[in-house]
Amino acid sequence: MSQNQNGLLEYIPGSHTLLVQKNSSPPLEGFAENVRGSIHEYAENSKSEVEKGNNFLQWILTRVFEATEDDAADAIVDGANDLGIDAYLPVDFSDNTIRLFQSKYGTSHSLEAIAKFKEDTKRLLAKDVAKMRPELAQLVTKIKEKNLKIKCCYVTDQKVEYEDELVEIIDEGVIIQKLWDRIKKPAAGKKSSIKLEKMLKHENTILGILKLRELTEFVSKNRDYVFESNIRQWMQFKTTVNKGLRETLQSNPGKFFFYNNGITIVVSDFTELGENIIDLYAPQIVNGAQTSNSILDHSKRTKSMDGSMTVTIIKADDEQEQNNITKYRNSQNSVRGKDLVSLMDFHKSIKSQLKNCGYFYEIQAGSFDTKSKSKQCEYEGDSIYNNYLPDNHKKVIVAKDAIQSLVAGIEQRPTEAYSSPAQFLPRGSKYDDIFNDNLKDDYRILLYPYLVKEFAKKSLKYGKQGGHKTKRYATLFFVAVYFRILHKKILESKGDFKGDIRKLEPIFRSFKLNSRILKITDVIVTKFLEDTVVDDEIELANTKHNFFSQHVWNDSMIRVIDKKIRQEEDEIAALKKLASSLF
């Protein structure tokens, strides 16, 4: 059975303490709900109670313990004469350890079941292997031959108040926290070495001189996780190579050391191996991401990679301390504390939730393209939601596009979303208007407006490719009108959709019904654009661009929109009736 040498170590009790940072923050509400929903959907998609239990265990092994689907299937030994063992995983033979699982889904959990599991495990090795099922006999033989230590894991989707040194309880709260820690700390369990030219150690910090070719090798090997805590990396939706930096690398690399501030790497621990070689545990480049990527890009264009730079390596195994280092080392860019929370919590939560739906949430431009083809193919989307998307869609949702659609639709601010989307992006002047403590981390709040926008372009010929002389400017306006109809006429919801975006799910999961809502929206928008009052307003605005960026959502234009909506009241009433049957 194959092992994930990096991922599984993070969850072994008593393993290297440096792999798990202290003081983990609690999961966001939307993330926790998404995990619960995923477990429920996966387990309940079964024909019997036994199958429910097996599905739940499969979910745990693949999601929490990162086993492959095949390995998880092989690990499950639940059935007749299972001797109280539902599954096992060889977690870390270097620690002479194997995990034995007992899982209880739903009402099958009880404190008695935990006690029985503990006793069954104690008696396991005393059993005659000749009288066991082959896979269990093989398991017991392996334990005896390798003298493996046994870790007992009791897994349930319920909440459990029980402590025992012999049994690790993995209940609902632990499951959610482990998965949250994983997306919060993608470097946990990773280790990489780096060689310095010179170094000076001060308390928990190493100050060093690093050759650029050494940095290139380090970043190339660890690029999939090493930038995840870098604020500027998250905030830059487009990576550009600084002109002066590039010129220095090309024409005068010897001066690079003097012209550049260097980089900061935060680690949970480091070990000095001699000859200025340092083992870094859970390394994160928290300052200097653009510099590092620029050097990496330059190295691809030249065989010669001369020059050096300064590097600061700081040991901080406390999450809050790491956040503070990240924040203050980037303070020259006016990064606010609220940005730190939203960027590293909200958007990571959304990214994880959308991954569960089969979509890649691209926060940093080009990050999907850096993945291998096999990794890209893992994103297949959702069979229903894919109907809203073009056939050639890569199942990549660009954060900038999703945020722009959110502002236009959910926030009902299409002119601002059209004229200046950057103001709603991180560090934008109106970013905090949207991404604040009142916004719940629910993937639907970004996914649904995005699906509406993509459907408008795909099926209703909005946008630049549509060919219509006015609709090419009206995509975000269409999104706003759609949500206005849905909000005021079909669902008659009070307040706005941010409070509980989940109530839209039955609509979006019913593609046939929603297609009718989207098409009646197109009828209304088309009639709006053909109205003489709107023609006059467009002429007053001078250009269609100015009209949609400044005028289309003023009071007089909204009155025209509402008038066109009232003209389609029969169709809307029929849609309202169909929608009510979904709830």
Q: Enumerate the domain spans of the chain.
A: 29-182, 191-333, 339-581
d(CA 331, CA 337): 10
Q: Which residues contact 536 (CB under 8 A, 6 or more apart)?
A: none
What's the whole-model pTM score?
A: 0.77
Would you give the DSSP letter of residue 203? Answer: T
Three-class DSSP category at 103: strand
DSSP element (H, E) containing 579: helix 569-580
d(CA 500, CA 287): 37
Q: Given this model, what pLDDT does residue 246 score? A: 74
Of 273, 268, 286, nearest to 195 by C-alpha is 273
Quick: pLDDT tens for 147-193: 888 888 999 999 998 888 889 999 999 999 999 988 877 777 788 99
Q: In the structure encoding, which two tokens stand for residue 510, read together?
A: 């019913």
Of 36, 61, 57, nearest to 46 by C-alpha is 57
DSSP H helices in 330-383: 337-341, 347-356, 373-376
Q: Given this model, what pLDDT does residue 435 score? A: 86
Q: Is 60 exposed, middle or buried (0-12, 13-18, 19+ CB in 10 A)?
A: buried
Would you give the DSSP letter of residue 132? Answer: S
Instruction: Provide the mean pLDDT of the chain.
Output: 84
Q: Is 262 left (phi over 0), alpha (psi -120 to 50) or beta?
A: left
d(CA 530, CA 536): 11
Q: Is 81 left (phi over 0), alpha (psi -120 to 50) or beta?
A: left
Quick: pLDDT tens for 301-319: 776 678 899 999 999 876 6
Rounded to an integer, the average pLDDT of 34-60 is 91
Q: Given this model, what pLDDT does residue 21 score? A: 41
Q: What stretches of 212-370 adopt beta strand conformation (E)?
A: 263-267, 269-274, 277-281, 284-287, 308-315, 360-362
Quick: pLDDT tens for 52-87: 989 999 999 999 988 888 888 888 887 677 678 888
With vertex at residue 554, the alpha carbon angle to CA 549 and CA 556, rounded to the nearest 5 degrees, is 135
Between 217 and 465, the more confident residue is 217
Rounded to an integer, the average pLDDT of 417-423 is 91
